[in-house]
Every structure is written in C-alpha cells, then in structure tokens.
Amino acid sequence: MRISLIQNSPSVGFKSNNRRITDKSGGLLYKTTTYFFRDDLDWHGLINLLNNKYRNTPKVNIINHACSNGPEVYSLIIQLGLSLGKTAEKFFPILAKDINPDNIINAQKGSQIGINNNDLYKISYYTNNNLNRFFSYSPAQSSEYHLALKPRPILKDKVIFQQGDILQDVSEIQFQNTVLLCRNFWQYLKDSNCKFLAQKLGEKMDKTSLLVLGEHDILSSNADKYLAENGFRRLFNRYVYEKST
C-alpha cells in the first residue's frame, strides 16, 4: 500500500470518530473519541488470555459496549483472526453496541472511518502491513485525518451493531462465557450510575466471564473501587477483570 500516492480529493460517506455530544444547553454528555488498537490495552496479551481461558469452551460471547462507529471492535476481530485462525470463529459474531444512534447507523452502513497517522501505524503493525485485506481506503474529507477506511466483509460479517445503553442492558445480559468490553466511558457516568453498574455486573458475572475497561475509566472515575467492592479482581492484563472466587 503506497499511501503517498493518494491525493487530496473529496470522498463520500466519511464519518468522524471524534465528536462531542452535548445537551441542549451545550453541556458535554460524552465524547465518541475512539481509535484503532488503543494503547491502553495489551492486545496480544488479551488474545492470549482469551485463548487460554476459553480453550475448552465451544462458544464464547463478546459484547463491546460504547463501540462508537467500530474501530475497537474491528481491532479485536483483526487480532483474534490473525492470532487464532479458525479457533477465532467461536468468538464471532461480536455484538457491538453504542448509545449514540448516529454511531450505530454509520457502523451498520459500513461508512468510512477517519484515521490519523498513529492509527495507520498501529493498523499496519497489527495486520503485518496487510491493511488492504481488511479495509479499502480513500482520502479523508477532514484535515483532522490522514485517510478514511471502509471495512471489508471479512470484518463487517463478524460483528452485529445495535443501539443500546449499558445501564439498561446490563440486567438482561446472560454472562456465562461472556467477555464484556465497556471501555473509556465510565467517566461520563454519574457516580451513582457508576456504582449501580459495578453492582449489577457483580451480581450477573461469574468466573466464566471477563470484564475489560480502559485507562480513562480508572483514572477519571470510581470504577476500579466499585468493582473491587463487588468481587472483581484485576488480572495481569491492565484493565481486565475477573470475578474472585
């Protein structure tokens, strides 16, 4: 792939993955900021953990809440497929949910996703310089991004995008043999809702499940404290939790 040959010309269907969502008075509700292969997660370590924990489990459910328009779930699909080969099929399809309807509509359509140079570097690294296998690409409309990527069927066919609110969904999820990624949004929750979510996860999750958070959840909320109070322990992988015995 020779990125230097791409000229600045208009592209269609471009969608930003870095927006501010505000209330009617202009107050910040949350940001949709997301990236491919975010640095706060040990991606190789996570895949090794999943492979070992679920070695003898025929089907594993993965749920990615606050998925934005798809970069994180696509990162996970890429890493699972390249690392585990056919074994990865038991983790698919991944259910990806977001509270923002625009994010889900764009993800369901497979709209182009803007990336910066850091995204490009990480995608190239994790795909062994084989970006074309997973995405088509074109120039981005916004100067904020270097390229716009459109996921190919090898990614889109392995994920189901739905709108959803984790505070409502948590009571309905069946958590046996389930990996829940709910990363980098706890800081936007009221502290009472943060405590509520940790309590419900403590009630519903068991030793067959894993919970994956993000750096901002630990630095900017009481998530770690409330999870510890509800029987979770953090594993050697940063921000990955399991119910204590």
Whole-model pTM? 0.86
Instruction: Answer whether residue 66 shows pLDDT above 60.
Output: yes
What pLDDT is attached to residue 34? 76
CA atoms within 13 A on the CB side of 146: 10
**Residues 76/62, Cβ–Cβ less than 8 Å:** yes
Distance CA 32, CA 19 (A): 5
Name which residue leads in pLDDT, 173 or 144. Answer: 173
Instruction: Answer whether residue 196 shows pLDDT above 90.
Output: yes
- Of the chain, the percentage scoring pLDDT greater than 90 comes to 79
Name which residue leads in pLDDT, 66 or 143. Answer: 66
CA 122 to chain centre: 15
Distance CA 144, CA 133 (A): 25
**Residues 75/126, Cβ–Cβ less than 8 Å:** yes
Instruction: Answer whether residue 6 shows pLDDT above 90.
Output: no
For the residues 171-190, what does the mean pLDDT come to? Answer: 95
Supply the Cα-derived Rg of the chain in whole angstroms: 18
Instruction: Answer whether residue 25 shows pLDDT above 90.
Output: no
Q: What is the pLDDT of residues 115-138, one digit of tens each?
A: 999 999 999 999 999 999 999 998
**Torsional class of 126: left (φ above 0), alpha (ψ -120 to 50), beta (otherwise):** alpha
| Sign of the dihedral defined by the CA atoms of residues 135, 139, 141, 144, in that order | positive
Question: What DSSP designation does 27 have?
Answer: -
Token pair 């510890």 in the structure block, residue: 228
- For the chain, counts of helices (H) and of strands (E): 10, 13
What pLDDT is attached to residue 236? 81
Instruction: Answer whether residue 211 shows pLDDT above 70.
Output: yes
CA 183 to chain centre: 7
Q: What are phi and psi of 217, to 5 degrees?
A: -65, -35
For the residues 152-170, what does the mean pLDDT come to? Answer: 97
Most confident of 9-13, 20-24, 51-55: 51-55
Instruction: Answer whether residue 69 shows pLDDT above 80.
Output: yes
**In terms of residues, how long is the chain?**
245
C-beta atoms surrounding 26 within 10 Å: 7
**Residues 33/17, Cβ–Cβ less than 8 Å:** yes
What pLDDT is attached to residue 42? 95
Least confident of 78-82, 112-116, 199-203: 112-116
